[in-house]
Amino acid sequence: MEEKYSISEFIKETQQEDKGQGLFELETPRMLEINLEKEIWAKMGSMVSYRGNIKFEREGVLEHGLGKMFKKAFTGEGSSLMKARGNGKLYLADQGKKISILNLENDSIYVNGNDLLAFEPSLQWDIKLMRKIAGIMSGGLFNVKIEGSGMVAITSHYEPLTLLVKNGMPVYTDPNATVAWSGDLQPEFVTDVSLKTFIGRGSGESVQMKFEGEGFVVVQPFEEVYYSEKS
């Protein structure tokens, strides 16, 4: 029994492993290992450890052009990025959330601005603000569209669930529980006054995202409140 709880046993069970999975590796379901050789974009504040020669730079105000700067100012600092450069092993995490790795191959995906953990510089990205909801929720709701080829890591509270969207069969989701969706879907926001007393939002309308067409949407079993509703 004493050996079971020894320091050496603890180290054996929890120590880092090289799994040979490439640039992005899931060291644990909630810890991302990046085998850095050049540079990577990561969520500000997500670094928990590194080894090697790695330097971190805050995202430059004009690094992505005036258009993105203005959109970022309008959305607030919700998803500040940092650039990690160098060679070594970098470990990222975000409040213990579960991490999923996606390898895009000329694909596009929208990710909730709060659920984007890291991505390769080879991918193109842009902030998409959903202004139609701004009149209902303070500041609106913003997402990041990522497209091209490369690795991207997203996070979710607990296990994510992917729902397929098919023509004639729309999918409705809670904005607070929506993590990501395929790049060819354009959700619209709908309200349902009759639901407001049933889901804890007694002052105001219930807001849902409606997805129509062909694609997928990823949700989490958690309502992540990162903006304030107007009273």
Q: What is the DSSP letter of 17?
A: -
Q: Where are the alpha helices (DSSP H) in the chain?
A: 7-14, 66-75
Query: Is the Cβ–Cβ distance between 152 and 108 less than 8 Å?
Result: no
Determine the 3-state secondary structure of 176 from DSSP: helix
Residue 46 lies inside a defined structural domain of this protein: yes
In a domain, 6, yes or no: no
Per residue in 37-73, pLDDT tens? 999 999 999 999 999 999 998 866 545 554 554 445 4
Q: What is the pLDDT of residue 149?
A: 96
pLDDT in tens, 92-144: 999 999 999 999 999 999 999 889 999 999 999 988 776 555 545 544 467 88
Inter-residue contact 117 to 42 (CB < 8 Å): yes
Would you say residue 231 lies in a domain? no
* Residue 218: burial class (beta carbons within 10 Å; 0-12, 13-18, 19+): buried
215 is a domain residue: yes
Q: What is the dihedral of CA 143, 73, 226, 182, to 10 degrees?
A: 0
Q: Is residue 1 one of the residues assigned to a domain?
A: no
pLDDT the model gives residue 1: 55
State residue 114's pLDDT score.
87
- Determine phi and psi for 18, rounding to 5 degrees: -90, 110
Q: Residue 179: CB partners within 8 Å, gap ≥ 6? A: 111, 112, 115, 154, 155, 156, 160, 218, 219, 220
Antiparallel, parallel or unpaired: β 124-130 and 141-156: antiparallel
Partners of 60 in beta bridges: none
Q: What is the pLDDT of residues 2-39, one digit of tens each?
A: 677 878 888 888 888 877 668 999 999 999 999 999 99
Say how many C-beta atoms besides its own lie within 10 A of residue 120's C-beta: 21
Cβ neighbour number for residue 97 with a 10 Å cutoff: 22
Asked if residue 25 is part of any domain, the answer here is yes
| Residue 58 within any structural domain of the chain | yes
pLDDT digits (tens, 9 = 90+) for 171-195: 999 888 999 999 999 898 888 766 6
CA max distance for the chain: 62
Looking at 4-8, 125-129, 206-210, 226-230, which range is the least confident one?
226-230
Query: Does a structural domain hold residue 10?
Result: no
The domain that contains 154 carries what CATH number?
A: 3.60.160.10
pLDDT of residue 230: 38
171-173 vs 206-211, strand pairing mode: antiparallel
User: Does residue 87 carry a pLDDT above 80?
Assistant: yes
Range of the domain at 56: 20-219
Residue 203's pLDDT band (cuts 50, 70, 90)? very low
Residues contacting residue 3 through CB under 8 Å, at least 6 positions apart:
9
With CA atoms as reference, report the closest residue to 93 among 139, 173, 27, 150.
Answer: 27
Q: How many structural domains comprise the chain? A: 1
